[in-house]
Amino acid sequence: MNFSQKRTIIWINSGIYYEKVTVQKYKQNITFQGQGYTSTAIVWNDTAKSSNGTFYSGSVQVFSSNFIAKNISFMNVAPIPSPGDVGAQAVAIRIAGDQAFFLGCGFFGAQDTLHDDRGRHYFKDCYIQGSIDFIFGNARSLYENCQLISMANPVAPGAKGINGAVTAHGRSSKDENTGFAFVNCTLGGTGRIWLGRAWRPYSTVVFAYTSMTDIVAPEGWNDFNDPTRDQTVFYGEYNCSGAGANTTTRAPYAQKLNDTQASLFLNVSFIDGDQWLQSYI
């Protein structure tokens, strides 16, 4: 199955639509087409507490294969939690279908904004905003030319505390073929954050050609307070720039990738995109 098959296109006019949306597995080849991510949005405000779990809190949940979204935002407007708050996670979208493509979309929330759950996904020219683990899941996804904006609380100059993280990837086994790759992205905003936390032992995340401001903590990464994961995670950086990209004092398990290592993550071949994205990139 590929994107060349007949599609159902749902045109969504400018405005904010307060509703919770689920795209079921049997509704394949669906496109949501908005008028721009700053003017068209689907909005809800469930939290983990109100929806019986983080995974079910998404304003939009996609289980379908071959889903496309263009020029639209997905928002969860639940209050921004403090680190450690119980039940405050609030997902804007959960993507659990294979071969999904997001072009020019916005994802707005705080903790756990974008649940990149499972499957192969491509995000291009998107805006992703959050505070704690705001891109999480166990998908194999490429994020290209995306803006990553931390909404964590500002910290005082010289403060050492951490109050946010961009990613929490959930790869549990060496036999899984999953991971997040960020290429030609920008990372900024507020707070003092990690690039990723090892939600599961084989967590896999790469940042390449990405501009990072000084909100990134010098150590860069966190093993979820489980040193046994230091031997199994794959956290890599390649040709990044900006004040937050200094790798001198990175966590010892983080890797500064060489050309060969990085080449596996730099384009759509990472997500087998040559098999299903031909008409959309």
User: In this predicted model, what pLDDT tens digit does every residue of 71-115 receive, in sequence order?
Assistant: 999 999 998 888 778 899 999 999 999 999 999 999 999 999 999
Q: Are residues 24 and 64 in contact, defined by beta-carbon separation less than 8 angstroms?
A: yes
Distance separating alpha carbons of residues 150 and 159, to the nearest angstrom = 17
Q: How many helices (H) and strands (E) does the chain have?
A: 1, 26
**Is the pLDDT confidence value at 2 over 80?**
no
Rounded to whole angstroms, how far apart are CA atoms 3 and 247? 40
Query: What band does 281 get if pLDDT is binned at 50, 70 and 90?
Result: low
User: What's the token pair of residue 17?
Assistant: 């639509």
DSSP string of 134-177, one letter each residue: -EEES-EEEEES-EEEEESPP--TT-----EEEEEE----TT--
**Is residue 189 a contact partner of residue 151, using CB atoms and an 8 Å limit?**
yes
Quote the CA–CA distance of 146 and 148 in Å, as a whole number: 6
Tens digits of residue pLDDT in 108-153:
999 999 999 999 999 999 999 999 999 999 999 999 999 999 999 9
133 is catalytic: yes
pTM of the predicted model over 0.85: yes
Note the pLDDT tens digit of each residue in 247-273. 999 999 999 999 999 999 999 999 999
Catalytic residue among 46, 98, 112, 133: 133
Domain ranges of the chain: 131-272
Q: What is the pLDDT of residue 160?
A: 83
DSSP 80-132: PPPTT-SS----SEEE-SSSEEEES-EEE-STT-EEE-SSEEEEES-EEEESS
Q: How many CB atoms lie within 10 A of CB 57?
A: 29
Neighbour tally for 164: CB within 10 Å = 25
> Tell me: the pLDDT tens digits for 151-192?
999 988 878 899 999 999 999 999 999 999 999 999 999 999
Name the token pair of 23: 């795209």
**Closest Cα partner for 189 from 80, 57, 65?**
80
d(CA 149, CA 188): 5
DSSP 260: H
Evaluate whether 253 touches 227 at the Cβ level (below 8 Å): no
CATH superfamily ID and name for 131-272 = Single-stranded right-handed beta-helix, Pectin lyase-like (2.160.20.10)
pLDDT of residue 221: 98
Range 31-48 average pLDDT: 97
Question: CA 229 to CA 170: how far, in whole Å?
Answer: 12
